[in-house]
Amino acid sequence: MELNQKLDTQKLKKLKTVTDNAPVYCIPIDITKEGVFTENSFVGATKSGIFLFENDDFRYYSFEDVEGVFNRTQTNGAMLTLKIKGEEQLFCRVTMRYVSALASIVRGINILLKGNTKRRVINNEREKRCRKCGRALPGTAECPKCNKSGGNLKRFLDICRQNKITLAVIIVFMLLDAMIGISKEYILRFFVDEHLVTGEGTVFDILSFFIVYFGTIIFGLFIFYFKAYFCGKLGVRVVHQLRGRLSNHLQKMSLSNLNNRSTGEIVERVMGDTDRVRQFLNRGFCSTFNQVFYIVGVVVIMLIMNWKLALLTFLFMPLVIVFTKTFWPKIHRIFSSLWRKMDAIQNKLQDVLSGIRIVKTYGREKSEIDEFCRANEKHAKINYKNEKFFAIFYPIITLIFSFSTYIVIYAGGLDVLKGNMTPGELMQFVAYTGMLLGPLHSMTYLPREIVNMTTSLERIYDILGEEPGIKSKEDAIKKEIDGNVKFEGVVFGYHTHQPVLDGVSLEVKAGEMIGLVGPSGAGKSTLINLVMRLYDVDEGTVFIDGIDIRDYNTECFHSQIGVVLQETFLFAGSVVDNIRFAKPEASMSEIILAAKAANAHNFICKLPDGYNTYVGEKGHNLSGGEKQRIAIARAILNNPKILILDEATSALDTESEYQVQQALERLRQNRTTFAIAHRLSTLRKADRIAVIDDHKIVEVGSHNELLKNKGIYYNLVMAQLQMNKTADKTE
């Protein structure tokens, strides 16, 4: 989101009356302190103070008078409050539309209050509405209405340039096809005037005509075949290129990017939208260009033959163009809405299939069917409106073209009666009129095809144009790490206005095991996400061996991390494929050694095909303990410098837990280990334990030290012991 929007000249003049500093932050506000919606109102800050433009009211406070700036989140919005002379007072309000932006500038203003005028806060969240026209964005970063830069044309031409040889071959066949189509009518005219009208001509002459005429038709069929073949080839190649680019780009995108989109939406853009581009190339682009050649050739010949009659043919064309242009925006809205509903259907289907076990366990099949049917019905209604619109649109176009044909036949017939045209010329002219109006009528379908394609291109390039939230610098460091990790004043939130970690500082030495405990939602998993650099901090720094984690090459750094999670994910493939995932070049002997270290070798050998056994989607053919041990083998094979254990044994039975714990003991030797556990007994062997509460680290020490302090950790341990005693008595 943009955090420094430009003020108009009048507002800038008012601001200059109180300060010479330009705005550092400036965002719109859409509601007054009294709760009345407002427009053209702004809140922001310069290096020396905070300002507010609210309708006709202008206020400014110097930072010398401000003791603190606070963001107070409410149910349907947020408030910015100032602490002045020990009292907190309301400064401005916003609705949910600007909650994230307000939280960002409050953080930025507090940095300015501390005297740091160089650092700027950035908000990476996507805009939900166009800043120019206020329309809700249809799932894209740019507004289709306000983006007048010809972006889609440039994108389409870029696609064509990548396949210019195939395109050149197609154009040659199109020219030949048009020439053959036009020449057929001239041959027919010659036959009518020279033989049918005069009654002259031998059997040889008639036979020669049929040989030439049908030979031309057969040759045209061969040309049409090759044209269709290369058009199909072009469409397949473009889909292959676009899907390859999308797949490559999606792999580079960070979790923060991917979390903004549903899985169904991404699948629809990769598969559905690319296929619609292919359909346009096959049906729209190739056919349209062919018809353009027909139109140009026919128009030239008609003007040469009888320019007056030709002008009568063109009489209604401007009306068709104006009519089509008028309804163009409506067509665009229809398809944008249609694809959004398709995204919803894809996403719902993805959710149901992924959670089918839960659905069946709770007997919710009927409700899920009903919910899918409702989403499907919404899509069907829009599709119905779509077809209803085009069912009216195309007959009107046909009617307009029909008038042109009737006028040509009438006027041309008069010329034949006057002797100004021969019957053969009239037949040729009427045929050319049909050849002209036919392509023009087909081209009235073009707006539908173009909007269909451009909508898909917008959605495709919306993903391709999105910069990865996390990427390596050009001079990124590639080196083997030791495993020293340091958090320094780290602030982070998945949403800007909701920080999960706030001012976290912690130092972990190489080879040390640190346990992370605390209530759900405190920020334990978020902390390890930052260690793995799945997200970048909003404020502060994470150091690895004294170097900012953002300075490392991402791929090199990630290759030195091992992860074992509570919900182990296995890919649909064999056991050996899943273990080898961490190190694709690993030999079979290395894989077996890793499996033995993970206590997995014995059960793998008992599987039907051993290491080549297919584990099924998400490993559903294996038990929880077996999946965990395969995940541990995968981590061991990678020989990581930093190990992440996130509730690795919480969902296992006693026997499986014992085997997994043995494997984990081997795995974490001489490695920096971060372990999250709700079962506190599993963290007794940790070198230190960090207790996270209220988004901060509140206690750090060994198990025994924290028990002696009788703080939060002590209370957690006592509560867990009491719960275990209660459970034993119940049994």
pLDDT tens figures, 144-190: 566 654 567 777 778 878 888 888 888 888 888 888 888 887 777 77
Name, in order, each residue with C-beta under 8 angstroms of 103's C-beta and a sequence gap of 6 or more. 71, 73, 78, 496, 497, 498
Task: Return d(Cα 400, Cα 489) in angstroms, integer.
Answer: 71
What is the token pair recorded at 24?
A: 């550092």
Q: What is the pLDDT of residue 122?
A: 74
Q: Which ranges of the chain have pLDDT less than 50?
A: 149
Cα 91 to its chain centre, rounded Å, is 37
Residue carrying structure tokens 């229809």 = 334
Q: What is the pLDDT of residue 171?
A: 86
Question: Could you give the count of Cα atoms lying within 13 Å of 493 in the half-sphere of its Cβ?
Answer: 17
SS3 473: coil
Q: What is the pLDDT of residue 442?
A: 63
Q: What is the pLDDT of residue 438?
A: 64
Task: Return d(Cα 622, Cα 633) in angstroms, integer.
Answer: 15
Among residues 632, 626, 624, the alpha carbon closest in space to that of 613 is found at 626
Task: Return d(Cα 118, Cα 113) in angstroms, integer.
Answer: 12
Name, in order, each residue with C-beta under 8 angstroms of 656's C-beta and a sequence gap of 6 or more. 623, 624, 625, 626, 628
What is the token pair recorded at 488?
A: 């320094």
What is the token pair recorded at 151?
A: 């972006």
What is the arrangement of strands in the sheet containing 77-84, beginning at the earlier edge strand? 57-62, 49-54, 37-45, 25-31, 87-95, 77-84, 68-73
Residue carrying structure tokens 């050739």 = 297
Task: Return d(Cα 532, Cα 642) in angstroms, integer.
Answer: 9
What is the token pair recorded at 391?
A: 């069912």
Q: Which helix (H) or strand (E) holds 467?
A: none
Q: What is the pLDDT of residue 266?
A: 83
Which whole-number Å values give the CA distances from 693 to 121, 415, 538, in the listed order? Answer: 25, 95, 19
Q: What is the pLDDT of residues 609-637, one digit of tens each?
A: 899 988 877 677 788 788 888 888 888 88
Q: Which helix (H) or strand (E) holds 431?
A: helix 423-443
Question: What letter does residue 6 receive in the DSSP assignment?
Answer: P
CB 515 within 8 A of CB 686: yes
Residue carrying structure tokens 């040309």 = 223
What is the token pair recorded at 717?
A: 């341990």
Strand pairing report for 87-95 and 77-84: antiparallel
Task: Return d(Cα 453, Cα 457) in angstroms, integer.
Answer: 6
CB 163 within 8 A of CB 234: yes
Q: What is the pLDDT of residue 89?
A: 92
Name, in order, each residue with C-beta under 8 angstroms of 722's C-beta and a sequence gap of 6 or more. none
Name the phi and psi angles at 285, rounded to 5: -65, -55
CB 621 within 8 A of CB 615: yes
What is the token pair recorded at 531?
A: 């260690």
Name, in order, each residue with C-beta under 8 angstroms of 147's C-beta and a sequence gap of 6 or more. none
Q: What is the pLDDT of residue 132?
A: 65
Task: List helix spans (H) across 465-532.
Answer: 524-531
Q: For 30-60, give the DSSP string.
A: EE-TTS-EEEEEEEEE-SSEEEEEETTEEEE
Q: Which amino acid is at 75?
A: T
Q: What is the pLDDT of residues 453-506, one digit of tens each?
A: 887 888 888 888 777 778 888 888 999 999 899 999 898 888 766 788 988 999
Q: End-to-end CA distance of the chain, in Å?
A: 56
Task: Return d(Cα 261, Cα 280) in angstroms, integer.
Answer: 26
Q: What is the pLDDT of residue 725?
A: 65
Task: Return d(Cα 550, Cα 527) in angstroms, integer.
Answer: 16
Task: Return d(Cα 582, Cα 417) in angstroms, integer.
Answer: 86
